[in-house]
Amino acid sequence: MAAGAAGWGTCAQWGVTHYDLVVVGTGSGNTIVTKQFADRKVAIVERGIFGGTCLNVGCIPTKMFVHTADLAAVPSHSSRLGVDEKLTGVRWPDIRDRIFGRIDPISAGGAEYREHHPNNVNVTLYHGTGRFTAERELTVTANDGGSSEVLTADQFVLAAGSRPIVPFIPGLEETGFHTSDTIMRLPSLPRRLGIIGSGFVAAEFAHVFSSLGVEVTLIARSDRMLRHEDSEIAKRYTELAAEKYTVKLLHETVHVWRRNDAIVLKTLSPAGADEILVDELLVAVGRTPNSDLLDVGVTGVETEKDGRVVVDEYQQTAVEGIYALGDVCSPYQLKHVANHEARVVQHNLLHPDDRIKSDHRYVPHAVFGSPQVASVGLTEEEAIDQGIPYAVGREAYADIAYGWAMEDTTGFAKILADPDSGLLLGAHIIGPQASTVIQPIIQAMSFGLDAHTMARGQYWIHPAMPELIENALLNIKLKN
């Protein structure tokens, strides 16, 4: 074959092919194989849609839905500013098809590039599930189950990601449910949507569907949504969510079944038993690493109790030459972390005598709900638990000029710093554009700026939203 190739080109059953490098997973794993690997024989193995979670069923489509939902929600708050708007319609098929009409061709184009572009003459793409059958031997079974091929390699990259956890709830499997993998492709909007879970996925989809006019009931086992956030932020988010849709806290779903056309959820809470009727159900209770699908134990690669592949600071597993990155090994399950780790793995494959370490000191995240939440570093509870001295500075959007422009009354930033040195320990923001407003803090933490130098050593554009950060920094009571 002149250019790159698709595996099974010869339809060889139980053929054995040796490669220099095998990469399992086409999310961040796919980014590793650049022209710098032109002198190596490489195989890429993918069991699902080319491009992985973020592109196809994760960050990118969800944020396209979130932006759309933000627009749909404008009339619900514009009247406070004297602008009376009305949402006259939501064309779900148009919303859905705009999003996937853009994404699906990118995925298809990525696979096409690997299979046919001259840059990939040294690369073979296998559409199938890889499973280790010996230390450096991966058996790939085609998605149709028909053919298998054994790949041996000097080096492997495990970039197999994670998948949604399906909890054991009697009746759930038989009744049918959605996960984040399927909910975005619904043929039509349901009248009522139940969501089991109260983390990232639950918060983002509750915002999307409630803004589009669906009656959402979110069922949380815990006493608040986003319980891993700083508790002030989680509490505020939960209060605001409950104004937009039904939030059932401390509710355990114990049984699911169908009654006529509805899905019935039986829940137990301190107040007793409850029955919740919905038309569609989304299960969003976390994700589990795909290391089990790979049967990594056969290789000597170690895993944590929760299935995460154990890696060292160079992203190498317990077996020399087998590296891992992203959700399959990371405690963070975030795309920017998977991408960072992919860059580290790429460097270490190319420069084995000059390897670099991954940097997980200040990993930020954002929840694109309503409002947005963004966070980096220690929460106040973590600082207390770890006995780390801290000083806090707060600022409300309501106290900065742009907050007045938006008439925001609920958002705020909270920044923790070392009281002696002023070095930043953590920051937590809830409010408009929190995911963008937090970026200067991430920069300051990464490059070791203290609160005072950061606040006074630069201009802050007036009257822009980052004044929230400037004022929160100035409100930190440092010792010096």
Ligand X SMILES: Cc1cc2nc3c(=O)[nH]c(=O)nc-3n(C[C@H](O)[C@H](O)[C@H](O)COP(=O)(O)OP(=O)(O)OC[C@H]3O[C@@H](n4cnc5c(N)ncnc54)[C@H](O)[C@@H]3O)c2cc1C
Ligand Y SMILES: NC(=O)c1ccc[n+]([C@@H]2O[C@H](COP(=O)([O-])OP(=O)(O)OC[C@H]3O[C@@H](n4cnc5c(N)ncnc54)[C@H](O)[C@@H]3O)[C@@H](O)[C@H]2O)c1
| Binding to ligand X, residues 367-406 (CB under 6 A) | none
C-beta closer to ligand Y: residue 287 or 340: 287
Among 93, 167, 352, 389, binds ligand Y (CB under 6 A): 167
- Give residue for tokens 């932006």: 67
Choosing from 193, 196, 247, 256, the residue that interacts with ligand Y (CB under 6 A) is 196
CA 364 to chain centre: 11
Tokens of 45: 């193995």
CA atoms of 348 and 319, how far apart (whole Å): 14
Residue nearest to ligand Y (CB): 199
Instruction: Identify which of residues 331 and 352 has a Cβ nearer to ligand X in the complex.
Output: 331
User: Using an 8 Å Cβ cutoff, are 318 and 233 in contact?
Assistant: no
CB-count exposure of residue 439 (10 Å: 0-12, 13-18, 19+):
middle
Residue (59 or 396) nearer to ligand X, CB: 59
Q: What is the CA radius of gyration of the chain?
A: 24
Our finding on whether 264 is near ligand X (CB under 6 A) is no
Per DSSP, the three-state class of 171 is coil
Tell me how far apart the alpha carbons of residues 293 and 24 are, in angstroms, rounded to a whole number: 11
**3-state helix vs strand vs coil in the chain, percent to 5:** 35, 25, 40
Give the ranges where 51-194 is alpha helix by DSSP (H): 52-57, 59-78, 92-116, 172-175
Binding mask 429-458 for ligand Y (x = CB under 6 A): ------------------------------
Place of tokens 């399992």: 24
- 180 near ligand X, judged by CB under 6 A: yes
Q: Which is nearer to ligand X, 293 or 398 (CB)?
A: 293
Bridge partners of residue 282, in order along the sequence: 178, 195
In the bound state with ligand Y, the residue whose beta carbon lies nearer, of 334 and 415, is 334
Site string for ligand Y, 325-364 (x = CB under 6 A): --------xx------------------------------
Q: Pattern 323-342, binding to ligand X, x per CB under 6 A?
A: ---xxx----xxxx-x----
47 touches ligand X (CB under 6 A): yes
Q: Residue 143: how many CB atoms within 10 A of its CB?
A: 13
Least distance from C-beta 250 to ligand X, angstroms? 25
Longest dimension (CA), the chain: 72
Q: Smallest distance from the beta carbon of 216 to ligand Y, in angstroms?
A: 15
Pairing of strands 15-24, 5-6: unpaired
Instruction: Give the Cα separation of 220 and 198 in Å (integer).
Output: 5
Scan for tokens 């980096």, then name that residue. Answer: 376
Q: Is 210 a residue that touches ligand X (CB under 6 A)?
A: no
The entry of ligand X, ligand Y, none near residue 285 (CB within 5 to 8 angstroms by kind) is ligand Y
- What residues line the site for ligand Y (CB under 6 A)? 167, 196-202, 204, 221-222, 227, 284-287, 333-334, 365-368
List, by residue number, the catalytic residues: 462
- What residues line the site for ligand X (CB under 6 A)? 24-29, 45-48, 52-54, 58-59, 62-63, 129-130, 159-161, 180, 201, 290, 293-294, 326-328, 333-336, 338
